[in-house]
Structure 1
Amino acid sequence: MLVGAAAGIVPRRHQQAAVRAETLELALPTVAVVVPSPGKAASSLALPAEIRPWLDAPIYARASGYLKRRWVDIGTTVTNGQLLAEIDAPELERDLERARAELAQAEAALALAKTTAERWNELLRSKHVSAQEAAEKQADYQLKAASVEAVKATVRRLADLLAFTHVTAPFDGVITARNTDVGELIAAGGEKELFRLAQTRQLRVYVRVPQSLARAVVPGQTAQMTIPEMPGRVFPATVVRTSGAMSADSRTLLTELEVDNEKGEILAGSFAQVSFDGAKLEVPLTLPANTLLFRADGPQVGVVLAGGKVALRSVRLGRDFGSVVEILAGVTPADRVILNPPDSLIDGAMVRVAEAAMAE
């Protein structure tokens, strides 16, 4: 009989323990969870760009006068040192002639002063003149020598100015603007440029990269440039340098690229689009908007840990897309975040995860 009684008691105890465990499990609130997912990243980083010449310089006059001849016009290809225009400057020519005459006069006076100083030195040795008189003649000779050097400097300056009546190209390029014509009065150092010269065999492409994407662009990185007026054409480009600082006005990073234009197909000054190759953007995680709890400590989410324990975590929000919100900090891709958390949810609470309802 004892054996029979023991055989009946043991199953009942196991049944009671199972019922107790099931009751405790059913007493826990059941929650659905979701895991954070990365936001959508653009397949390529395409930004508007401005194409500029490799070199671009205005040509001004250094000599005053009337434009005598011009040898180039817009679109003319020129080489370094090629004559662009001639300026007629008769006043400058007369000034140079007068300076050369003054130089001849000063050199004659110098020769006389030299001869006089040498003779007075001989007379000083024979004691026919005083040392004071000989010193005066020597000082006069040195004064005449200095005058000659001063006049020579004036001659060189006027000769250099006269050479500026021949306006030449400072480098190889194309004339992109002409703002003068034959017979026009030219003022040296004036604000009006005569020509504008651009070198377009290589081009500089400037792009303003937004702050959120600035870290994805580095020198040496390759890029693809397209021009709306040339559909289907792609021009390779290379990042040369960046400004190294964000613009305070637009919060963008000025980036310069280099593009080869040996065939002259690309017109400087054009608008373009640049797509950066291999731009690795940091894509933030996203969560459904109904996972957020807004409390005094800021936005929070409930994360289910191992064993069903809840941990409340503060999160930093990014952009709000309506049903989905960017999470900049606070969760990881492996976290299980509670959907539709109740306002009474506290840190350390125990919950049961509805596995069938877990969002993929």
Structure 2
Amino acid sequence: MYDVNNDEQVYVVTYKELLFTLVVFIIILFALFPKGILKDQISADKSNYDLSMVYLKDLLKHSPDDESLQILLLEKSVHAGDINTAMQLSKKLLSSENEYVRHKALLFAYESKKAKYYSLDDVAKQRPLYPELQRLFNTIYKDKLYDTDIEKWYKEAVFAQNQKAAYFFLQKLLQQDPRNVKYLTDGYYLSLDLYKRSDSVKYITALEQYDSNNSLKWAMDKYTIFMRYKDYKNAELLLEHYAKQSLDMQLKLANFYLMIQKYEDASNTYLELFYITKDEKVKKEYLVKSIRALQSGNLLKKAAFLVHHYESQYIHDRDMRKFFLKIYLAAGELEYASELSKKILKNENKL
């Protein structure tokens, strides 16, 4: 065909002519190359999937039962984004008698169905596909059909909500990159869900070291693990270590001492918080806790002595005076109680 509007004749190829040329080219290829060589060349071509699919479909007209060609067409369809063709082919090849073909079809079935899943913009439409994707992934994992791209398969395991598989791939990732904070964090939470106590402690100890900006947060989580498994010895050591760095940890330590019935230690720790704290209301609460800790351990004489030490500081506080009197009477310290009663009367008479 020629363009008559130009002085020079420019040849423009029509669609029919292009199609005819393509057919002729394919016939020449078949004539010049054995099928095996042509198939290898198509397999190696990573640049033009659409053209490769044209070749393969034509080859399949001559060899309709050739599963190696079908697998190759399936692969090209997946890469070209021809989801429907890929899904039809994979469904057919999953029933192949050839194990290798079935395994390849399974991998491509998963890939094509996942592409279909994400092509849908409605969650309601996606939902029916998800159980099938989970089933396909679980088979891939069980039969060890995954390749060496561990990070990819870890993400697929997370997508399929297969915690056991995710944990398996995550451990391999951590072997390659043992200081990766994201992997360690994922490993920690997964190990908790899977009740792998020693692994949980291992991961969180590494996080304390490598995620130094959040070391206190991880220490608190480690404390939770120790308490979960009633490992009170290690819980105590951890709290004692971090109590020097954090008031929250110091308070947790005081409460912990109270729980394990180390009443004097609890009282002393509450008293340390009393001295450190600036807020008067909170200070008073810590002093009361310190006294009550001794009272809980039936250390009534020591509780009375502590009250006597701070009595004058709270002589004008009606609630604290009543509390102090009760402690004196419970401890049998009648002289202290009598002296405090006189001070209270004297103080009220001034008012």
TM-score in same-fold range (> 0.5): no
Higher helix fraction (1 or 2) = 2
TM-score scaled by length of structure 1: 0.23
Structure with higher RCO (Cα < 8 A, 6+ apart): 1
**Could you say which structure has the larger radius of gyration?**
1
Higher strand fraction (1 or 2) = 1
